[in-house]
Amino acid sequence: MTVVDDVGALAALIATLAAAGDADAILAAVAAEGCALLGIRRCGIYLREERREGLAGRLGHPMDEIGAAVRELRIGGPGDAITHAALETRAPVVVEDMASDPRAGGLPVRVWGVRSLLAVPLLGGAPDEAPLGVMVFDPGDAPHVYGTRDVALGGMLGRVAGGALAGERQRAQLDTARRQNRLLRGAATADFKLSQVLLDGGGLRAIVGAVAELCGKPAALYDASLHRVASAEPPGQDDGLHVALLEDASDAVRALLASAAAGSSTTVAPMLSAGVRHRHLVAPVDVAEDRWGWLLVMEHPRPLGAFDELVARRAARHVALELTAQARAASTAWDARSLLARQLIRGTQDEDVRRGADHLGVDLATPRVVGLVTLPAHRGGGIDAARLVEALSARVGGEVLATKGPQGVALLVDVDGDLAPIVAVRAVKHSVAEACGVAGLGDAIVGLSTVCREPRAVPRAYREACEVARCIDGLDAPQRIMAADDLGPGRLFVAHGDAAALGQFVDDVLGPLLTGQDGAGDLLGTLDVFYATGRSVRASAQRLDVHENTVRYRLARVRDITGLDVAADADDQLSVQMALLVLRLRGHEGLSRIDEEAA
């Protein structure tokens, strides 16, 4: 049999193996058949690697003798003249005597006791392309003489094997290109569908539904607190399986979520101990520099693949876009509503205000209570107005307008026009107190107006709210939320008075009743009830559950002790009323009428 016949038979075998696309099978056939044709016992095959110097051992024949050793070996280093000669000349290199050939010093196989070898380059491309690797045939420690036929046969083996490997690599590259093309087409489809969801105003739930449909797998969206925002199953799937990975996430899952890089995706393996039987693909949702949450796809009913990763990452970006759009819309709406509130407080009554109200769906004719939420010393700049309004809107049945200034947040709260004004104000007071708690404003000071029934009354109502807040703040009243009706006209006196001067005024008017002596508390309480009942002796007696003469006697005692005739003298009545108001604001024991009415 001639060399051509030998190589032709080998080429037919390699062609069959190459059609199957199995690189290792190709190399094994070359090594085995080459050794048989050359009458040599061993062969090692070494291939190039991307971005690495030298050649990496890929396969050795016989496998049981040198297979493991070849895979651990690298040849073609700086001192390996034999390998470099085969690669550079693109021709077989013969070493008759490894011991005496100066080129053999840098070849690692020398340590195996090799006496001679044939190094053949694997040529599979164009003449100007570098060889794919090198085959090294050696007889071990036995002597061997390589003739012209051996060198020619080795060269042909190198070209046949190199061509088969090049074809296999080209097929692999084509397969990769096909997969990439499929992914690109899939990406275009996914982007179109997800973008259409946003354009149609579908929101977050629709995005999650699109993910489930595109991937054919259950999907879910969670926020940063691991609360489920939306979930969906693919159309036609009714087996009851859905994403539930983060409802009770373990520390390991939480750590994996925290380590996920922006724009990436990661896979969470099944955790049978936690009842998680399927893998989950997790893609973080990042809005600007903040991590808003995570988008999940569950591996069911088919395995997760590259397309699922692509869809999850793109969907996470679309969720971020939707959240950004929502934030901008909310900011725009907030600015428009804030402007309307500011215009109403200033008393602007032009056509622009009416058009703005109509655009926002705000009925200017609705009765309202106006309020001011501030902090001690009127430090209102640190209040999160949006959070406060969100909490308050969830607790009232009507519209809430707000605008923020350096002193605090002004509120315009719709009330039911059919309610009695005092009942309406009391309901607003209760709702504002709860909203301040939710918004983290436990030390807030809130002044509320009486009910204003038309837009032109809003500026007056805002002044009332500011005066009430100033009264609370100036006297450090323990009751932190009050309305104008709680204080009456006396709020003007208190709001614009100096705290020390007000204290001196109280001492001058009611000082003898503040000594704590026996009976002084009853006299002070009787005065408080006397004013609360419109200075009616009969109503005071009923409220105090005493005889009318007892009330008259106590008022007479007040006159004797303080010199103030609250039963008959209008000036004395006003002085005592203002002093009682200051005491109530300061939370004086026994004067709890404001607290009782608020309850």
CA distance 132 to 160: 12
Picking from 475, 493, 511, the residue at the C-terminal end of a domain is: 493
The pair of three-digit structure tokens given for residue 270, joined into one six-digit string: 């099944």
The yes-or-no verdict on residue 599 having pLDDT over 50 is no
Q: Which two tokens stand for residue 443?
A: 């030390």
Mean pLDDT confidence for 327-347: 87
Q: What's the pLDDT tens digit per position in 199-223? A: 888 889 999 999 999 999 999 999 9
186 assigned to some structural domain: no
Task: Work out the average pLDDT over 355-371.
Answer: 88
Please say if the pLDDT value at position 287 is more than 70.
yes
Phi, psi at 140, each rounded to 5°: 75, -135
> What is the CATH classification number for the domain harbouring 32?
3.30.450.40
Q: Given a cut of 60, is residue 493 above it in pLDDT? A: no
Of 37-41, 109-113, 589-593, which range is least confident? 589-593
- Give the pLDDT of residue 359: 81
**Which tokens sit at 313?**
């990452």
Contacts of 145 (CB under 8 A, 6+ apart): 96, 116
Give the domain extent around 12: 3-172
In angstroms, what CA-CA distances link 367 with 9, 64, 340, 510, 532?
Answer: 100, 94, 16, 40, 27
According to the per-residue pLDDT averaged within each range, which of 65-79, 94-108, 269-283 is highest?
Answer: 65-79
pLDDT at 500 over 80: no
Tell me the per-residue pLDDT of 225-268, one tens digit each, with 9 for 90 and over. Answer: 888 899 999 988 877 778 888 877 788 888 888 888 888 888 88
Tell me: pLDDT of 91 over 90.
Answer: yes
Q: Are residues 147 and 247 in the same domain?
A: no
Binning pLDDT at 50, 70 and 90, where does residue 593 land? very low
What single-letter DSSP state applies at residue 141? T
Residue 430 lies in a domain: yes
**Domain tally for the chain?**
4
**Mutual angle of helices 306-346 and 148-199, in 10-degree steps:** 30
What distance in Å separates the CA atoms of residue 150 and residue 243, rounded to the nearest whole number?
65
Closest listed residue to residue 116, CA positions, set 140, 85, 152, 83: 140
* Beta carbons within 10 angstroms of residue 517's beta carbon: 11
463, 547: one domain: no
**Angle at Cα 38 formed by Cα 35 and Cα 41, nearest 5°?**
40
> Residue 39 region, left (φ>0) first, then alpha (ψ -120 to 50), else beta?
left
Residue 346 lies in a domain: no
Answer whether residue 77 shows pLDDT above 80.
Answer: yes
Q: What is the CATH number of the domain that holds 472?
A: 3.30.70
Least confident of 17-31, 415-429, 558-572, 576-590: 576-590
**150/38 same-domain check:** yes
> Does residue 297 surpass a pLDDT of 50?
yes
Residue 38 burial class via C-beta count within 10 angstroms: exposed 0-12, middle 13-18, buried 19 and up: buried
Give SS3 for 216.
Answer: coil
Say if residue 126 is in the same domain as residue 105. Answer: yes
Percent residues over pLDDT 90 in the chain = 27
Q: Examine the domain organization and report whether 26 and 135 are in the same domain.
A: yes
Rounded Cα gap, residues 118 and 150, in angstroms: 9
Structure tokens at 525: 């309480």
Contact 361, 337 (CB under 8 A): no
Asked whether 319 and 207 are in contact (CB, 8 A), the reply is yes
Residue 492 has pLDDT above 60, yes or no: no
112 falls within a domain = yes
* 47 and 146 both lie in a single domain: yes
Mean pLDDT of the chain: 83
Q: Is residue 344 part of a domain?
A: no
Q: Which domain-ending residue is among 123, 153, 172?
A: 172
Domain-located, residue 401: yes
Same domain, 39 and 75: yes
Token code pair at residue 589: 């024991």
Residues 104 and 7 occupy one common structural domain = yes
- Model pLDDT, residue 368: 93
The CA distances from residue 354 to 38, 112, 553, in Å, are 100, 96, 59
- Domain membership of residue 260 (yes or no) is yes
Lowest mean pLDDT among 164-168, 395-399, 465-469: 164-168
Which of 473, 493, 513 marks a domain boundary?
A: 493
- In degrees, to the nearest 5, what angle opens at C-alpha 72 toward C-alphas 67 and 76? 105
Tell whether 480 and 511 lie within a shared domain.
no
Which of 22-36, 418-432, 443-457 is predicted least confidently?
Answer: 22-36
In a domain, 310, yes or no: yes
Encode 155-190: b = buried (16+ Cβ within 10 Å), e = exposed. Answer: bbbbbbbbbbbbbbeeeeeeeeeeeeeebeebbeeb
Would you say how long the chain is, in residues?
599
CA distance 70 to 58: 7
Where would I find the beta strands (DSSP E) of 49-132?
A: 55-61, 74-75, 93-95, 117-122
For residues 73 and 139, membership in a common domain is answered with yes
pLDDT at 595: 43
Which CATH number belongs to the domain containing residue 522 in this structure? 1.10.10.2840
Same domain, 394 and 478: yes
Q: Within 10 Å of residue 211's Cβ, how many Cβ atoms?
A: 33
Residue 193 is predicted with a pLDDT of 85
In this structure, are 133 and 68 located in the same domain? Answer: yes
